[in-house]
């Protein structure tokens, strides 16, 4: 439970006082300072070099025309041309946006409510609770690529589980039909996502002060009133985490559609449009980077509020 | 840590009346669990049957005989030991170095007070939340630029080299681990390191001999999680390794599909073999796995 409790307010740090300009911090010896600088500096440099510099690189390259093979002197700077092209001409862009949006909505509705429901059901004294939880968590440890493989055995038109169970006269091609394959894949993705949401909500429910529920019950609130008016609002931090996790998951979606059909024929996603420029058919680094920047912008839209929520508590102390 | 997992179970009233509602609840949960396990069980069932059996009777039928042959065949045709080894070469170093580096940052920001503490933590946390595609194109290009001596990478660059994949895993996963570890370290009383410092312990000793041992439970949880995540990585290796022989097992799945052709029994067996390490970790270290995820999502 420790994780969910308020952290002990960091009293005036007992560590050395903040360094002041021009004045040596007396508490730390020279070697100690050097060691500490290395301990913080090396990981930061690694992180900046391989994560943030490439991110800025994507932003820069999105204003260029380049095939990625030649040297940097082949880069042609074309301003916002890539963005204009993406929004007006690029045929795969809007379908991809639509698919990502459906992906997000589906994840926000189906696994989230299923996970919440299961968490509520399991958050009580219950026999076999641990066994139930283990079974529900299990898909979480599988990679999305593997989930794609395993579900193909269910969806395949000849001898797949689903068609056999439904016993239709005309077998449905769940993966090949571009009208339904997105939803078929989403069911598989949701299968894996539900356990995670359940885990988050179970932790959230356990952190709710039982006294609140008791007080509500004493005031004559019904079980469902207590849940929707008291418990759920109190879990706001968990709700935010669930929202962030889901948005990021929807933006990152890639592996599962790639193993199924490399993200074509109804399974186009923004992530596929980016990756195609390196390992696929297209090699237009500029246009791919512009799509990456669009992904970046959307993700920053949830990352920044999340950081604000998490770290604002600290700023105040 | 472990306390995150289980509510202290109150020794409830000894006999709880069996109400219809309880029974309905159990029935519902059992059905849900069976539905959750169904895809895996179906894969297990398919993997145990022979090609002749399923091609004649279809998959949705009672098996004539069950055999482990498909596993042996997938193991051999797919050259799985080779790909497991590739994965091992990437996962183990990446895992260890990620934990070492992020525990150092976490120690620095949680035990000492600098102006940029929060900014640094935010940087790491945000970096971990970025979609990989935002990074991947320039990274791929950067890797081709960096020249390495042959003893470090056979391909003489970071492309097509386990080293390249290890580096991006470290850089990317550090965000999550730093966030979790720093939250945990903040709950360790300041007096502890303070006392050690008064006794003349160097910063490094405060970190290595005092703080890290106290973090053992979180480190175990993070190691479990990071093992599954790095093992399950598909994208980084797919993009940064172009030579199919050097791919780790998860990314190699894509090529195995071609090798196994349309034999679904073989595909099922191969998939299960690839899933096996993570499933074993899950069964043995479920507590750590769940605890790590819980810690990562909540603010200490």
Which residues, at least 6 apart from A61, have a Cβ–Cβ distance to it below 8 Å? Answer: A75, A285, A286, A289, B137, B138
CA proximity to B137, closest of A250, A82, A41? A82
Same domain membership, residue A290 and residue A200: no
Please judge whether A39 and B253 are an interchain contact, meaning their C-beta atoms are less than 8 angstroms apart. no
Same domain membership, residue A239 and residue A113: yes
Please judge whether B135 and A18 are an interchain contact, meaning their C-beta atoms are less than 8 angstroms apart. no
Average pLDDT of chain A?
Answer: 84
Q: How far is CA A1 from CA A6, A205, B1, in A?
A: 10, 11, 8
Using CB atoms, which residue from A3, A43, A241 is nearest to B300?
A3
Using CB atoms, which residue from A58, A146, A310 is nearest to B299?
A310
Q: Are B251 and B87 in contact (CB under 8 A)?
A: no
Please judge whether A2 and B300 are an interchain contact, meaning their C-beta atoms are less than 8 angstroms apart. yes
Q: In this structure, is residue A3 part of a structural domain? A: no
Identify the residue whose tokens are 């049957």.
Answer: B49
pLDDT number for residue A131: 92
Report, as an integer, the average pLDDT of B90-111.
94
Could you give the number of structural domains in chain B? 1
Residue B8, min C-alpha distance to chain A (Å): 10
pLDDT number for residue B12: 47
Q: In this structure, is residue A7 part of a structural domain? A: no
Q: In this structure, is residue B57 part of a structural domain? A: no
Q: What is the DSSP track for A38-60?
A: HHHHHHHHHHIIIIIHHHHHHHH
Q: In this structure, is residue A105 part of a structural domain? A: yes
Q: In this structure, is residue B35 part of a structural domain? A: no
ipTM, two decimals: 0.86
Q: Which of residues 137-196 of B touch A (CB under 8 A)?
A: 137-142, 167-168, 170-172, 174-175, 178, 183, 186-187, 190-191, 193-194
Q: Above 60 in pLDDT, residue B7?
A: no
Q: Above 80 in pLDDT, residue A203?
A: yes
Identify the residue whose tokens are 């595609």.
Answer: B133
Using CB atoms, which residue from B43, B122, B183 is nearest to A150?
B43
Tell me, letter by letter, the H, E, C secondary structure of A122-162.
HCCCCCCHHHHHHHHHHHHHCCHHHHHHHHHHHHCCCCCHH
How sure is the predictor about A161, in pLDDT bands with cuts at 50, 70 and 90?
confident
Q: In this structure, is residue B244 part of a structural domain? A: yes
How sure is the predictor about A251, in pLDDT bands with cuts at 50, 70 and 90?
very high
Q: In this structure, is residue B55 part of a structural domain? A: no
Q: In this structure, is residue A267 part of a structural domain? A: no
Q: Above 70 in pLDDT, residue A270?
A: yes
Ramachandran region, residue A9 (left: φ > 0; alpha: ψ -120 to 50; beta: rest) = beta
A143, A244, A274, A284, best to mutate vs chain B, most B CBs in 10 Å: A143
A242 or B2, which is more confident: A242
pLDDT number for residue A53: 94
Q: In this structure, is residue A43 part of a structural domain? A: yes
How sure is the predictor about B190, in pLDDT bands with cuts at 50, 70 and 90?
confident
Q: Are B240 and B164 in contact (CB under 8 A)?
A: yes
Strand segments (E) across chain B: none
Q: Above 60 in pLDDT, residue B99?
A: yes
Give me the domain span that covers residue A76.
Answer: 28-91+284-317
Residue B13, min C-alpha distance to chain A (Å): 11
Same domain membership, residue A216 and residue A158: yes
Could you give the number of structural domains in chain A? 2
Same domain membership, residue A222 and residue A145: yes
Of A203, A234, A252, the domain-final residue: A252
CATH number at residue B168: 1.10.3720.10
Which residues, at least 6 apart from A200, have a Cβ–Cβ distance to it below 8 Å? Answer: A115, A238, A241, A242, A245, B293, B294, B297
Q: What angle do CA B35, B39, B43 make, to 5 degrees?
A: 145
Residue B272, min C-alpha distance to chain A (Å): 9
Using CB atoms, which residue from B126, B134, B233 is nearest to A292?
B134
Please judge whether A49 and B131 are an interchain contact, meaning their C-beta atoms are less than 8 angstroms apart. no
CA proximity to A299, closest of B128, B229, B240? B128
pLDDT, tens digit, 9 for 90 and up, residues B275-285 = 999 999 999 99
Q: In this structure, is residue A259 part of a structural domain? A: no
Q: Above 50 in pLDDT, residue A239?
A: yes
Same domain membership, residue A245 and residue A157: yes
Q: In this structure, is residue B118 part of a structural domain? A: yes
CATH number at residue A107: 1.10.3720.10
Give me the domain span that covers residue B165.
Answer: 74-297
Please judge whether A68 and B141 are an interchain contact, meaning their C-beta atoms are less than 8 angstroms apart. yes
How sure is the predictor about B6, in pLDDT bands with cuts at 50, 70 and 90?
very low
B4, B94, B137, B197, best to mutate vs chain A, most A CBs in 10 Å: B137
Same domain membership, residue A188 and residue A142: yes
Q: Above 90 in pLDDT, residue B70?
A: no
Stretch among A7-16, A31-40, A103-112, B61-70 having the lowest mean pLDDT: A7-16
CA proximity to B144, closest of A192, A290, A167, A57? A57
Report, as an integer, the average pLDDT of A227-236.
87
Please judge whether B130 and A51 are an interchain contact, meaning their C-beta atoms are less than 8 angstroms apart. yes
Report, as an integer, the average pLDDT of A99-124.
93
Q: In this structure, is residue B237 part of a structural domain? A: yes
pLDDT, tens digit, 9 for 90 and up, residues A11-64 = 444 444 444 444 334 467 788 889 989 999 999 999 999 999 999 999 999 998
Q: In this structure, is residue B43 part of a structural domain? A: no
Q: What angle do CA B218, A248, A257 make, to 5 degrees?
A: 110
Alpha-carbon gap, residue B112 to B118, rounded angstroms: 12
- What the block records as the tokens of A293 is 């920047």
Q: Above 50 in pLDDT, residue B237?
A: yes
**3-class DSSP state for residue B114?**
coil
How sure is the predictor about B95, in pLDDT bands with cuts at 50, 70 and 90?
very high
Same domain membership, residue A136 and residue A207: yes
Q: In this structure, is residue B166 part of a structural domain? A: yes
Alpha-carbon gap, residue B224 to B227, rounded angstroms: 5
Alpha-carbon gap, residue B178 to B123, rounded angstroms: 11
B185 or A4, which is more confident: B185
Q: In this structure, is residue A224 part of a structural domain? A: yes
pLDDT, tens digit, 9 for 90 and up, residues B22-49 = 899 999 999 999 999 999 999 999 889 8
Stretch among A44-48, B133-137, B253-257 having the lowest mean pLDDT: B253-257
- What the block records as the tokens of B118 is 């929060």
pLDDT, tens digit, 9 for 90 and up, residues A57-78 = 999 999 988 877 767 777 888 8
pLDDT number for residue A4: 40
Same domain membership, residue A165 and residue A313: no
Q: How far is CA B130 from CA B103, B136, B162, B166, in A?
A: 21, 11, 22, 18
Q: Are B83 and B273 in contact (CB under 8 A)?
A: no
Which residues, at least 6 apart from A151, have a Cβ–Cβ distance to it below 8 Å? Answer: A184, A185, A187, A188, A191, B39
Same domain membership, residue A298 and residue A179: no
Same domain membership, residue A184 and residue A303: no
Please judge whether B174 and A46 are an interchain contact, meaning their C-beta atoms are less than 8 angstroms apart. yes
Chain A CB within 8 Å of residue B130 CB: yes
Q: In this structure, is residue A265 part of a structural domain? A: no
């Amino acid at each position: 439970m420790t994780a969910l409790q308020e952290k002990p307010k960091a009293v005036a740090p007992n560590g050395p006082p903040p360094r002041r300009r021009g004045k040596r911090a007396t508490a730390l010896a020279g070697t100690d300072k050097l060691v500490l600088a290395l301990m913080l500096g090396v990981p930061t440099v690694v992180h900046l070099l391989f994560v943030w510099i490439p991110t800025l690189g994507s932003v820069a390259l999105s204003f260029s025309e380049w095939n990625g093979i030649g040297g940097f002197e082949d880069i042609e700077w074309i301003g916002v041309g890539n963005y204009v092209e993406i929004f007006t001409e690029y045929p795969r862009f809007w379908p991809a946006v639509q698919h990502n949006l459906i992906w997000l909505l589906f994840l926000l509705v189906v696994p989230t409510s299923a996970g919440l429901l299961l968490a509520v059901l399991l958050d009580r004294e219950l026999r076999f609770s641990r066994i139930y939880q283990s079974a529900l968590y299990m898909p979480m440890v599988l990679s999305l690529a593997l989930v794609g493989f395993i579900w193909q055995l269910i969806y395949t038109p000849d001898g797949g589980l689903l068609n056999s169970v439904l016993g239709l006269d005309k077998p449905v091609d769940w993966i090949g039909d571009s009208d339904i394959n997105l939803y078929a894949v989403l069911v598989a993705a949701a299968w894996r996502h539900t356990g995670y949401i359940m885990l988050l909500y179970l932790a959230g429910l356990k952190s709710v002060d039982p006294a609140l529920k008791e007080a509500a019950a004493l005031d004559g609130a019904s079980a469902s009133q207590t849940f929707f008016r008291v418990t759920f609002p109190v879990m706001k931090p968990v709700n935010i985490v669930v929202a962030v996790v889901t948005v990021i998951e929807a933006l990152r979606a890639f592996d599962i559609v790639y193993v199924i059909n490399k993200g074509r024929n109804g399974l186009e996603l923004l992530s596929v449009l980016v990756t195609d420029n390196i390992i696929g058919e297209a090699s237009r680094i500029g246009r791919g980077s512009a799509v990456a920047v669009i992904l970046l912008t959307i993700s920053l839209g949830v990352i920044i509020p999340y950081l604000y929520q998490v770290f604002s508590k600290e700023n105040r102390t | 840590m472990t306390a995150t997992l289980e509510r202290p179970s109150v020794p409830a009233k000894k006999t709880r009346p069996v109400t219809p509602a309880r029974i309905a609840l159990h029935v519902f949960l059992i059905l849900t669990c069976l539905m959750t396990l169904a895809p895996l069980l179906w894969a297990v069932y398919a993997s145990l049957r022979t090609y002749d059996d399923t091609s004649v009777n279809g998959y949705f039928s009672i098996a004539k005989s069950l055999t482990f042959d498909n596993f042996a065949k997938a193991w051999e045709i797919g050259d799985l030991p080779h790909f497991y080894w590739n994965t091992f070469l990437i996962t183990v170093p990446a895992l260890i170095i990620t934990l070492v580096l992020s525990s150092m940052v976490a120690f620095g920001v949680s035990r000492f007070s600098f102006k940029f503490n929060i900014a640094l933590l935010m940087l790491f946390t945000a970096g971990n939340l970025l979609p990989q595609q935002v990074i991947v194109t320039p990274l791929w290009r950067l890797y081709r630029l960096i020249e390495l001596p042959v003893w470090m990478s056979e391909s003489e660059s970071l492309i097509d080299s386990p080293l390249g994949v290890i580096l991006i895993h470290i850089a990317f996963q550090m965000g999550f681990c730093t966030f979790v570890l720093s939250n945990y370290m903040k709950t360790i009383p300041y007096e502890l390191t303070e006392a050690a410092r008064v006794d003349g312990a160097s910063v490094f000793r405060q970190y290595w001999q005092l703080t890290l041992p106290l973090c053992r439970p979180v480190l175990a949880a993070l190691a479990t999680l990071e093992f599954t995540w790095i093992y399950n990585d598909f994208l980084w290796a797919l993009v940064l390794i172009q030579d199919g022989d050097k791919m780790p097992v998860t990314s190699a799945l894509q090529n195995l599909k071609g090798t196994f052709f349309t034999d679904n029994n073989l595909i099922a067996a191969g998939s299960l073999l690839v899933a096996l390490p993570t499933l074993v970790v899950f069964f043995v270290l479920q507590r750590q796995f769940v605890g790590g995820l819980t810690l990562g999502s909540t603010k200490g």
